[in-house]
Amino acid sequence: MARVFSGIQPSGVPTLGNYLGAIRNWVALQDAHDCLFCVVDLHAITVWQDPSGLRQATREMAASVMACGIDPARHILFHQSAVPAHAELAWIFNCVARLGWLNRMTQFKDKSGKDREAASAGLYVYPNLMAADILAYHATLVPVGDDQRQHIELANDIAQKFNHDYGREFFPLIEAAIPVTSARVMSLRDGTRKMSKSDPSDQSRINLTDDTDSIVQKIRKAKTDPAPLPETLAELEARPEARNLVGIYAALTEATPEDVLRRFAGQGFGQFKPALAECVAETLRPIRAETLRLMADTTALDAGLRAGAARAAAIAEPILRETQALVGLLPAR
């Protein structure tokens, strides 16, 4: 059975993009796989995080994914920094990955922006840590949004080079599980940028903890155009904001964008937006309530994460020891 691993950064409250692009697929994979889900706090600090904000966001992320349906009893939910094998394996991968590979990473280019010299070294080697997250468990199936495709390819390049250099088929090939309809949910303010929990404008995203009033208000104010919805998807190509809202509706109702257009063609956003807002609010209402309930007891939440980390470490440690031996590092014990 393929082992599943996925991670999410505690760099804010998870968004509808995180839910449709990633978390919802994590939930679905639980039935037929052994899964590890990780709140990647070490990835989050590649850009500045206020320490108390980081603690809060780590708990909130864990509570949110449980509220979405992740079962920490049957599977493993933990925070990355609690399992040292991630950072230790990442160092070895820093020595396997080539600068030329990292220089091609578009997420680094986006996140470092114009002042690349001022970006942290951690942001640059971020994909090596991500490869270590996955490969420390010999996981082979990784549910992520479309923006992570390039990082998964890099992880495979690292695994292949490691296997080649050390002469053993040790790390397996990783497959990304990317959803078809909701791989990339875009900002409500700009249909060409992805919806992100780190966007300075709260109006650009739906947070999983938004109440019905703010959902309705954000969707009412979402950027659109005056034309009614067309009959074919091709006609939406030059209308990224409209395309995005149709995509969200399709993903939430588990329909195709074509189905949505069949239903709403000819109608304006005055009709479509309230229908969409209702759909979003319906989906998020129970998630929000359960997140708030779990957040009320941080002692239990922290204990649960630590217990998850102990189970994760029991899988990762032997794999790390074997990696170290292959590299030629003397055993520590």
Catalytic positions, written as ranges: 111, 194, 197
CB of 309 to ligand TRP, least distance (A): 15
Residue 95: name the closest of 138, 157, 158 by CA: 158
Contacts of 312 (CB under 8 A, 6+ apart): 36, 38, 76, 78, 82, 83, 137
Q: With CB cut-offs between 5 and 8 Å by kind, which of ligand AMP, ligand TRP, none does residue 210 bind?
A: none
Q: Which is nearer to ligand TRP, 25 or 224 (CB)?
A: 25
Using CB under 6 A as the binding rule, whether residue 60 contacts ligand AMP is answered as no
CB of 74 closer than 8 Å to CB of 312: no
The count of residues interacting with ligand AMP (CB under 6 A) is 17
Using CB under 6 A as the binding rule, whether residue 9 contacts ligand TRP is answered as yes
Residue 246: name the closest of 201, 181, 178 by CA: 181
Q: Which is nearer to ligand TRP, 90 or 280 (CB)?
A: 90
**Taking the mean position of all CA atoms in its chain, how far away is CA 247?**
18
CB of 126 to ligand TRP, least distance (A): 7
- DSSP letter for 22, please: I
Collapse the DSSP code of 216 into the 3-class scheme (helix H, G, I; strand E, B; otherwise coil) and give the result.
helix
Q: With CB cut-offs between 5 and 8 Å by kind, which of ligand TRP, ligand AMP, none does residue 57 bind?
A: none
Residue 102: name the closest of 155, 178, 160 by CA: 155
What is the token pair recorded at 28?
């679905």
CB of 174 closer than 8 Å to CB of 139: yes
CB of 45 closer than 8 Å to CB of 9: no
CB of 18 to ligand AMP, least distance (A): 4
Q: Which is nearer to ligand TRP, 104 or 262 (CB)?
A: 104
Residues making up the chain, counted from first to last: 333
Ranked by CB distance to ligand TRP, the top (closest) residue is 7
Using CB under 6 A as the binding rule, whether residue 130 contacts ligand TRP is answered as yes
Using CB under 6 A as the binding rule, whether residue 133 contacts ligand TRP is answered as yes
CB of 275 to ligand TRP, least distance (A): 30
Query: What is the footprint of ligand TRP within residues 38-77 (CB under 6 A)?
Result: 40, 43
Q: With CB cut-offs between 5 and 8 Å by kind, which of ligand AMP, ligand TRP, none does residue 134 bind?
A: ligand TRP
Contacts of 27 (CB under 8 A, 6+ apart): 68, 69, 70
Phi, psi for 108 (deg, rounded to 5): -65, -45
Q: Which is nearer to ligand TRP, 144 or 305 (CB)?
A: 144
Using CB under 6 A as the binding rule, whether residue 204 contacts ligand AMP is answered as no
CB of 40 closer than 8 Å to CB of 90: no
Of the residues 96, 185, 245, 315, which one makes contact with ligand AMP according to CB under 6 A: 185
Q: With CB cut-offs between 5 and 8 Å by kind, which of ligand AMP, ligand TRP, none does residue 194 bind?
A: ligand AMP
Q: With CB cut-offs between 5 and 8 Å by kind, which of ligand AMP, ligand TRP, none does residue 17 bind?
A: ligand AMP
Residue 151: name the closest of 316, 327, 7 by CA: 7
Query: What is the footprint of ligand AMP within residues 13-32 (CB under 6 A)?
Result: 17-18, 21-22
Phi, psi for 5 (deg, rounded to 5): -135, 135
Sites of contact with ligand AMP (CB under 6 A): 8-9, 17-18, 21-22, 144-145, 147-148, 183-185, 194-197
Sites of contact with ligand TRP (CB under 6 A): 5-9, 40, 43, 130, 133-134, 142, 144, 148, 151
